[in-house]
Structure 1
């Protein structure tokens, strides 16, 4: 083999190596683009599911006070006439179905008991009382609801507050 043939063969090998590298780079770009497309599709599906879940949760959250009021109204069935009690039994069945729907979407009710927690409760009234420790929940006006570990509707409550001492009352009156 002459020098020229060796040189031409080296150039051809070099050209083949360059083409292989181009093919490898093109394959790499293709794989990355494919992965990016799959990730984008998954992300869009997750966003769509999240939007649907949040829309359902928002609708149910608006519906919760109505559900509680419906249940409170049925609490007076002992005072109803016999005919009305029959209607109330039907409404109780409907109430059970509504509670099932709420539960199926991950909502769980919780009752307010013990001490006031601003993460779980909303104080609608404060009542001075020396019979209960400061911050004790005295009455629940509306139960709270969680969805998973998230509070979607705080329990609305009446909270106790220790009475002010006579000295503190006089000081407040003097400052006014």
Structure 2
């Protein structure tokens, strides 16, 4: 009987050990599932944060490229502005240059105005030198093919000396400021 009782107690102890193991396993499964879910959520969040960081990096690189382009563009505009800063002044001075030329042309007709003509010619040369220092040059149009970028045709004339489309006479001089047309030349073109 003692053996049977010992056997029963041992059996009962094994059963309670199994029940305890099952209880522990049942308690661990939710803990393991919760930990697995937490780990999965953390992985998802890490991936989301990495994607955001990559997006921010791309935005930063685009902004930096845009800034570099802006800097280059403004530098180019600034250089061009400095190059042609005197354009307005020179545009207003060109008609004065024309008047000087006209005055010299009429002064050569009379002998008594020789000293006057000499003084006006000196002023003209000085004025012309100032304009040349600013980059203003007169166009040479006569004998050149007509180009609407540089010439303004006011008349077509018949000419046996020149082919068709050649400038035969310059009515008003054209001027260039560095590499830009300041004023096109008024010309007569052969037909």
Distance 1:153 1:46 in 2: 24
Counterpart position of 1:114: 143
Segment of structure 1 superposing worse, 43-52 or 63-72: 43-52
CA distance in structure 1 between the aligned counterparts of 2:125 and 2:55, rounded to whole angstroms:
68
- 2: CA distance, partners of 1:26 / 1:71: 67
Q: Is the 8 A contact 1:146 1:153 kept in 2?
A: yes
Post-superposition Cα deviations, 1:42-99, rounded to whole Å, max 9, x if no partner, equal 5566566667767743543343232233244345666543366246424422331123
Residue of 87, 92, 96 corresponding to 2:129: 96
Matches within 5 A, 1:120-159: 120-125=150-155, 137-147=167-177, 150-159=180-189
Within 2, Cα distance between the matches of 1:131 and 1:87? 36
Residues 26 and 116 of structure 1: is their aligned pair in 2 closer, same or farther, counting only changes over 3 Å?
Answer: closer
* Structure 1: runs of 5+ lacking an equivalent: 162-176
Measure the CA separation in 1 of the matches of 2:61 and 2:158.
Answer: 70
* Contact 1:70/1:95, CA 8 A, preserved across alignment: no
How does the TM-score come out when normalised to structure 2? 0.55
Residues 1:26 and 2:56 aligned together: yes
Q: Give distance in 1, aligned partners of 2:63 and 2:104.
A: 60
Change (3 A) 1:73 1:6: same
**Count of aligned residue pairs for this structure pair:** 157
Larger radius of gyration: 2
1-structure distance, mates of 2:140, 2:124: 23
1:47-86 aligned at under 5 Å gives the runs: 56-74=86-104, 79=111, 80-82=113-115, 85-86=118-119
RMSD: 4.0
The whole-number CA distance in structure 2 between the counterparts of 1:146 and 1:84 is 27
Distance 1:143 1:60 in 2: 14
1: CA distance, partners of 2:121 / 2:54: 74
